[in-house]
Amino acid sequence: MNQTLSTEHRLRNLGHTLLLIGSMALLLALTSELLLGEGVWPWVFAGVILAMSTLPDISPHWLLRLYQARPIYPGDAPGLTGMMQEICRRAGVTPQPTLYWIPSAAINAFSVGSSRRSAIALTDGLLKMLQPRELAGVLAHEVSHIANHDMRLMNLADLISRLTHMLSMLGLLLALISLPLVLLGQAPLPLLGLLLLIAAPTLSALLQLGLSRVREFQADLSAVRITGDPAGLASALGKIEQQHSSLWQRLLLPGYRDPEPSLLRTHPDTAERIRRLLELRSETETADHPLSSIQLPHARLPGDFRDVQPPRHRTIFRIWR
């Protein structure tokens, strides 16, 4: 792996993460000061930190029940769990996340929980489509989210965004109530403050989406540092992207892309992710033992892992997301 480029990407991702979370915190501070008065924002942030540290973690098992997920025990798929053990050992993640199988033909994988109690869910469609080398890259990507504490970081960003939205809506409601006094000239109308209250929820949401995309880039980079195989993860991303578009789109609209603007996506453009991954390749592999050089077993599941369902669209979670 190209270590120089890897370090450059890591520092850039860190800088973007600090800038985005700092901008979200600044928006919350300005909104709270505008609404509650000067000197209040430190107490608001103290409350955020207290909430993050005291709220109990939701059990991954209960969350994955929404997807009818089933745990994969070592005896069910020794090859898959052995691959997972090696990836966790290289990433320094303990305890090892529990693997779950989702009975869906959709192509997806995701991690839930915290570093103390986590799980990685794999759909049946993903396990059947990917080769061992590609699956190792996907597992390393999800383990990287856990190792990098991305779930807690995104929960913090979500809490800041929700507070900003709540304070903005409260401020606009108070402004609406005081409108008769403003019209009678008995109350001031701070135009800049009003514009801030209107724009703050949208700006905070866009910053949160940007943070999500940056953490995806960092998880890709961390996965490559674990596996030593940028091409494996790049190949998996290419297959997943191809399967997410329907057959008629591939035949009639070969240049079809996600219609959502890039600013409104939780994940970066797949082509950009693949480009960055392939840039990390070097003629001489620097990883001591790349996973691609090890005989990776196929992730076969027993015959009782059946009853696969077609991909289902969910209003909140989209398609198994």
Residues identified as active-site:
142
User: CA-CA distance, 101 to 76, in Å (whole number)?
Assistant: 11
CA distances from 96 to 35, 236, 254, 294 (A): 45, 23, 41, 21
User: CA-CA distance, 310 to 142, in Å (whole number)?
Assistant: 23
Burial class for 297, CB neighbours closer than 10 Å (0-12, 13-18, 19+) = middle
Peptide bond before residue 268 is cis, with ω within 30 degrees of 0: no
The torsion angles phi and psi of 116, rounded to 5 degrees, stand at -80, -30
Bridge partners, residue 119, by sequence: 98, 112
Strand 118-123 versus strand 98-102 pairing type: parallel
